[in-house]
Amino acid sequence: MRFTRSVLFLAVGMVTGAGPTLAHHSLTTEYDLNRSVTLVGTVTKFEWANPHVRLYLDTHAADGSDPMHWELEMASPNLLALHGLKIDSLRTGDQVTVTAYPARNGSNLGYAIKVSYREHI
């Protein structure tokens, strides 16, 4: 049996780790925290590394046009592990739904705040 899992990252990270997060860099300089986008796509790469985990997705527009490639920054591996995400939680080819703050410059870059995926058993 496969289970769907959703993990919410940013809200808890901002409360429990605001000091180190803000000392590292401010999310507001790169991402628009007043907007969010929801992306449904296929994982092309999942990098579990410090200081931030990175998730790469291919999404398809409803009109069937070429896929859009997204790079999504996430919290640190330690914080994600505290919330149940593991190094092998996401694999190339997995279908995911991601809510993210988009980049201010309009590029396909974002900061993932929620990821929904099917767990591997």
CATH class of 4-16+26-118: mainly beta
pTM (global) more than 0.85: no
Show the beta-strand stretches assigned E in the chain: 4-8, 37-47, 54-59, 68-73, 95-102, 109-118
Domain extents for the chain?
Answer: 4-16+26-118
pLDDT tens digits along 23-72: 556 889 999 999 999 999 999 999 999 999 999 999 987 777 788 999 99
